[in-house]
A = this chain, B = another copy of it.
Amino acid sequence: MPTISDVARITGLSKSTVSRVINNHPYISSQKREKVLKAMEEIGYYPNPSARRLRGHTSNTIGVIVPRIVNPFFSYLVNSIEQEAFKNNYQVIIFQSNDLKDKELYFLNLLKNRQVDGIIMTSIENDWETIEPYMQYGPVLLCNEYVNQSSVSKVRLDQKKGAYMGTEHLINKGHQKIAYCTGGLFAGYGRDFDRNTGYQKAMDKHQLTPNPNWIFIQRHSIEDGKKVVKEILSMNDKPTAIFSGSDEVAAGIIIEAKENGLKIPDDLAVIGFDDQPLAEIVDPKLTTIKQPIDEMGIKSVELLIQMMNSKDSMVEEVQLPIQLIEREST
């Protein structure tokens, strides 16, 4: 495997000169530059990233932490991040935290060791106090998930408005008994909190009070959605509509509801969140809140690259719009 010394030997120049050619330094005669380039091409030389990293600090690699890559929301987000990064000559390393604190911390450590130049976190498992110290080693950007902290850059969506729009849409369709189904718990900040707030606000505005039984937390999968329907069927006071924080749960609800002879949207209206591909696959097709995943990925990479290039630590917050897509389930 050829090294920079081989190139130097072949061209009769020093390693320094070869290195300068590689890194596009000024003050190299074009004649020698040609010579080096040609030799590099000839012997198939490719600089060793470990060596560059060790000395030169930048690895041209950014890390992305996702909870689960099989979740289409995240795989689409990662895809958009990867595309944009590649355009800018950055490599992406994808880390799956599986909602595990230890794994998340392990990945953040790679920032410390300059394995990655920066990190995009699309989920947060540890307390902010635990994560914050890592920011001294390199830029960290929160994408999608976020915390109430002004010291960190964020690219996020107007979740509150999204939930508000969705809930109000159901109200406008004549519903009063609206269930609410979320992936998270009831923390005092972050994505899910904002959604809760949006839902509450819409309900309050129309003087509606939901039955506490209609609030479902920590529902993530299609299976979870099916279970929600079973629970609802056993209630005396049943909701006529459900706002779900995830398209997958919404899909599960639709499938199980049909199985039990319920007509959608007449007997039960369902609205999802994300606009995943499956929203157009379920029958009836799912009304949902579309998150601009691609824009979010692109913006995150743009911002992170800016952060990596700026000497002093900059903090910026970007909020992207969100949109209701009406289909057949409401």
Q: Contact residues of A with B, CB < 8 Å?
A: 1, 46-51, 53-54, 59, 68-70, 72, 75-76, 78-79, 82-83, 86, 92-94, 96, 98, 103, 109-110, 112-115, 137, 222, 251, 255, 258, 277-278, 280-283
Knowing A69-B75, A70-B79 are in contact, say whether A112-B283 is a contact too (CB < 8 A).
no
Contact residue among B1, B75, B94, B280 (Cβ-Cβ distance under 8 Å from A70)? B75
Residues of chain B contacted by A222 (CB below 8 angstroms)? 277, 280-281
In the complex, are the beta carbons of B70 and A86 less than 8 A apart? Answer: no
Chain B nearest Cβ from A242, distance in angstroms: 17
In the complex, are the beta carbons of A82 and B70 less than 8 A apart? Answer: no
Residues of chain B contacted by A59 (CB below 8 angstroms)? 50
The CA of A130 and the CA of B114, in the complex, are separated in Å by: 32
Chain B nearest Cβ from A304, distance in angstroms: 18
Across the two chains, which residue of chain B brings its CB closest to A248?
A: B277
In the complex, are the beta carbons of B93 and A48 less than 8 A apart? Answer: no
Contact residue among B48, B92, B113, B114 (Cβ-Cβ distance under 8 Å from A114)? B48
Contact residue among B48, B96, B115, B258 (Cβ-Cβ distance under 8 Å from A79)? B96
Chain B nearest Cβ from A97, distance in angstroms: 11
Residues of chain B contacted by A98 (CB below 8 angstroms)? 83
Residues of chain B contacted by A75 (CB below 8 angstroms)? 69-70, 72, 75
Across the two chains, which residue of chain B brings its CB closest to A82?
A: B96
The CA of A214 and the CA of B330, in the complex, are separated in Å by: 38
Residues of chain B contacted by A96 (CB below 8 angstroms)? 79, 82
Residues of chain B contacted by A68 (CB below 8 angstroms)? 79
The CA of A122 and the CA of B277, in the complex, are separated in Å by: 23
Contact residue among B79, B115, B282 (Cβ-Cβ distance under 8 Å from A281)? B282
Residues of chain B contacted by A137 (CB below 8 angstroms)? 1
The CA of A72 and the CA of B248, in the complex, are separated in Å by: 14
